[in-house]
Amino acid sequence: MRVLAFETSCDETAVALVQDGRWIESNLIASQVELHRPFGGIVPEAASRAHLTNMVPLLESTLEAVDRDGRPLDAVAVTYGPGLVGALLVGVNVAKAVAYARGLPLLGLNHLEGHVYANWLVPPGRDDQPEPRFPLVCLIVSGAHSDLVVMRDHGDYVRLGRTRDDAAGEAFDKVARMLGLGFPGGPAIQRVAEQGDPTRFHLPRAWLPGSYDFSFSGLKTAVGRLIEQLGPEPPVADVAASFQAAIVDVLAAKTAQAAREYGAAQVALAGGVAANVPLRRTVQDRVAGEVRLPPVALCTDNAAMIGAAAYYRLRAGAISDLTLDARPNLPIA
């Protein structure tokens, strides 16, 4: 089954072609990082307008490829939430137009579910790789979400915990800004932290005993206070490394605990922060069983993951119609 997928929930315009939920035929992404960089964060209005202009060439070249090889499309899939409403609307309306014009079934997908299905995609260059196994404990960590979820089957999610304030990626982005490291913050912190001592400053971990929820705003405030105390030339690498160690410690510990409690067959990481190398390593160290890690390039927003999730929805017969609308606060479970 060949799915044409769209993703425009945040600041990447993305169009992909995915075969049977696992094999990427095409995965185009137009990033808006340079557009938003001067503002130190995403400007929603600018993001929607950029999606409109970036979408057309991506769509044209993907459809040209489809028409050239003559193999039919089976469905059109699109992220309809959660995300920025003006950004989501671009993808949703383009997907509706293509589905209508080509007489194809339309599927609305949850962006967070898409991140999870990056674990089903077979990395380019590999022939195959077994599918993830249920029950699958998933840590979904992005710029806007931090959810710990147990997935017992396709489409069956129970949320065990979520962030009570900042998302993990948001904490990376805010701390990076405090340290003058620019946007997006996660990759910048990881890079600088490689030269730093993660044990130099002990920063607080909000364990929230008895709960799988997260809280990162106290950590962010503690970093702000530390930077103030350190004066005009703080040891940026050590602060970044100590911050990263604190956030990774909590994420990995709670994930490992959930894996034990829920008898996980496997654990999966998902979302932009899943690209973080120390997080990947620490989760692998602490989880007794097998850990699934999407390739780094498929952790951040892309449409291939939406095409993967769509295949399993389609197999279950879940189809949307042309009344599909953007749902900015759509939860995963």
Residues found near Zn ion in the complex (CB under 5 A): 142, 301
238 or 301: CB nearest Zn ion: 301
Q: Is 91 in the site for ligand KG4 (CB under 6 A)?
A: no
* Residue 10 half-sphere exposure toward CB, CA atoms < 13 A: 22
Q: Is 82 in the site for ligand KG4 (CB under 6 A)?
A: no
**Kind and range of the H or E element at 186?**
helix 185-193
Site for ligand KG4 in 4-23 (CB under 6 A): 10
Q: Are 299 and 118 in contact (CB under 8 A)?
A: yes
Closest CA to 306 of 152, 113, 63, 105: 113
Q: Are 172 and 247 in contact (CB under 8 A)?
A: yes
Listed ranges 137-145, 201-209, 232-240, 282-290: which one lies at the site for ligand KG4 (CB under 6 A): 137-145
Considering only 13, 142, 242, 266, the residue that binds ligand KG4 (CB under 6 A) is 142
The DSSP bridge partners found for residue 207 are: none
157 or 262: CB nearest ligand KG4: 157
- Give the residue closest to Zn ion by C-beta: 142
Shortest Cβ 220–ligand KG4 spacing (Å):
13
* Residue 9 half-sphere exposure toward CB, CA atoms < 13 A: 32
d(CA 108, CA 79): 6
> At residue 148, what are phi and psi to the nearest 5 degrees?
-110, 125
Binding footprint of ligand KG4, residue count (CB under 6 A): 19
99 or 254: CB nearest ligand KG4: 254
**Kind and range of the H or E element at 25?**
strand 23-31
Shortest Cβ 274–ligand KG4 spacing (Å):
8
Residue 58 buriedness (CB in 10 A; 0-12 / 13-18 / 19+): buried
Considering only 187, 196, 198, 294, the residue that binds ligand KG4 (CB under 6 A) is 187
Considering only 8, 242, 300, 320, the residue that binds ligand KG4 (CB under 6 A) is 300
Considering only 15, 136, 144, 332, the residue that binds ligand KG4 (CB under 6 A) is 144
Cα 195 to Cα 160, 235, 241, 250, 279: the distances in Å are 35, 11, 8, 22, 17
Shortest Cβ 128–ligand KG4 spacing (Å):
26
Shortest Cβ 124–ligand KG4 spacing (Å):
19
Q: Give the strand pairing for 266-270 and 156-162.
A: unpaired
238 or 301: CB nearest ligand KG4: 301
Considering only 132, 186, 294, 307, the residue that binds ligand KG4 (CB under 6 A) is 186
Site for ligand KG4 in 228-287 (CB under 6 A): 271-273, 275-276
Which one of ligand KG4, Zn ion, none is in contact with 184 (Cβ closer than 5 to 8 A by kind)? ligand KG4
Residue 180 buriedness (CB in 10 A; 0-12 / 13-18 / 19+): exposed
d(CA 139, CA 80): 21
Q: Is 184 in the site for ligand KG4 (CB under 6 A)?
A: yes
By CB under 6 A, name the binding residues for ligand KG4. 10, 142-144, 169, 172-173, 184-187, 190, 271-273, 275-276, 300-301
